[in-house]
Amino acid sequence: MENQTSLLSKAFQLFMSDAPEHAQAWGKMVQELSQASALDAKTRGLAYLAVLAALRMESGIPFHVHALKEMGASRDEVISAILVGLPAAGHAVTQALPAAIAAYDAE
């Protein structure tokens, strides 16, 4: 399977390489928020995937789908997480499906 860095968007890779202090601070904040959450990691990841889809942030989808697959999320759970926002965010969430399915099916 691809290494984790190759799943990151080019923009996020540039953020990490060219603004390492900011990236380190961002990473620390993300870890602290994860620890503060009452949700288990898989549920939190599926919810995050739904937010990415609603915000049309398709570049982050492959990384997060890969992590969810490693946590045991099924293909149907990934698809359902993306589509859960359909009533509130509209058809735009379907734009995340190709990237999510391709990332899930990649080996």
Successive 10-residue mean pLDDT values, the chain, 107 residues: 71 93 95 94 97 94 96 98 96 96 92
Nearest C-alpha neighbor of 58 from the set 107, 12, 105: 12
Q: What pLDDT is attached to residue 9?
A: 86
Q: What pLDDT is attached to residue 67?
A: 95
Structure token digits, residue 60:
């982050």
CATH number at residue 96: 1.20.1290.10
41-65 residues labelled b (16+ CB within 10 A) or e (exposed): eeebbbebbbebbbeeebebbbbbb
Q: What pLDDT is attached to residue 3?
A: 64
Number of residues in the chain: 107
Domain that holds residue 93: 4-105
Is residue 103 within 8 Å of residue 59, measured between CB atoms? no
Q: What pLDDT is attached to residue 55?
A: 96
Q: What pLDDT is attached to residue 7?
A: 83
Amino acid at the residue 82:
I
Q: Considering its fold, how many domains does the chain have in total?
A: 1
Cα–Cα distance measured from residue 71 to residue 45, given in angstroms and rounded to the nearest whole number: 9
pTM reported for the whole predicted model: 0.86
